[in-house]
Amino acid sequence: MYRPTAYYYRPGVICARKIDTDLLLTCRLVYSETSQLPASINEHTSWYYREPPDIKKRYVPVDDHPASVVRRRHLQTVHIFTQQAWLESYGFANFMGLLWTHACPTTLIITLRHSDWWWWEDEASLTLDPKQEGQASVTHHSRPSDPFPSESWGYQFRKASGLKKLQMELETVESKREELDTIVNRAEGWEFSLGDDRILRLNKSKTRRTGWTGVLLDTDFEEGRSLDIHLGNDQIDNRLEYPPAAKARKRLEATGVLFDEAGSVKGLPAHKTSTYYVVTLTWEAH
């Protein structure tokens, strides 16, 4: 299990994952019929900065070993955790070109965590625009009729042939919910052209809004360091009827936001607790 106070801890990322392939060694027949299942039914995760300590490779493996080549052909789902700066840079452009040169996944998931946004430490305004090159402007926003510049991150989906679904998981603190919802409203007009002449269009019926309780990240948070917080109910000031994080949770729940209890951290002191708001958007190819 990862420490609940670690930077990378969040719902869905609470412990290291291991795929047990011992069953493949049963016999030749079992191996021949099932050897590609680990690649096809499991999510392949890539981290672009601040990954868990057990992650040996941040990037999608592209070695030329014959077994690796065969496995990549069966790769179905790729999930990337990325900082906004990397998404809006040549890094994402290179990633898309490399991935679709060596594989052909059908699902791509992109996660931006609260501390992945530009200048989150200074509580800068949230902004995201797939049609802008480099860091998105806070004051200028593209229109649905605007073209995609070749260096914009939204243009990079033209390299993806065979992609069926794109998910974007956008996370922030509850106090910035209005800013994130503004981005989500604009995203209803985002459409992405694919390399096989199909178009990714947002399926609004699959938009999900969730919340979770976790560690309040300090503005002096150091990369790679776990926050030194003692967990235990004795650290909670029970004289506070509703600590700030609890009030934030009530505000979210009042609007129908569901909380992830399994991924939430229990027993944090009130002054080190934050309520996170997550919106998951789904685009489907047509």
Show pLDDT as tens, one digit a residue, over the chain (286 residues): 887 777 788 888 888 777 777 776 777 776 666 666 666 777 888 888 878 877 765 555 555 444 454 556 778 899 999 999 999 999 999 999 988 888 889 999 999 999 899 998 888 999 999 999 999 998 999 998 999 999 999 999 999 999 999 999 999 999 999 999 999 999 999 999 999 999 999 999 999 999 999 988 765 544 444 444 444 443 433 333 345 888 999 999 999 999 998 888 888 777 788 899 999 999 999 9
Query: What does the pLDDT read at residue 235?
Result: 40
Distance CA(264)–CA(231), nearest Å, equals 13
Q: How far is CA 193 from the centre of its chain?
A: 21
Distance CA(86)–CA(15), nearest Å, equals 25
Q: How many CB atoms are closer than 10 A to CB 286?
A: 10
Using DSSP's 3-state secondary structure scheme, residue 26 falls into coil
**b/e map of 223-234 (b: 16 or more CB within 10 Å)?**
eeebbebebeee
**Which of 93, 104, 241, 222 has its CA nearest to residue 160?**
104
Distance CA(103)–CA(140), nearest Å, equals 36
**b/e map of 60-97 (b: 16 or more CB within 10 Å)?**
beeeeeeeeeebbebbbbbbbbbbbbbbbbebbbebbe
The pTM (predicted TM-score) of the whole model is: 0.86
Name the burial class of residue 254, with classes exposed (0-12), middle (13-18) and buried (19+) by CB atoms within 10 angstroms of its CB: exposed
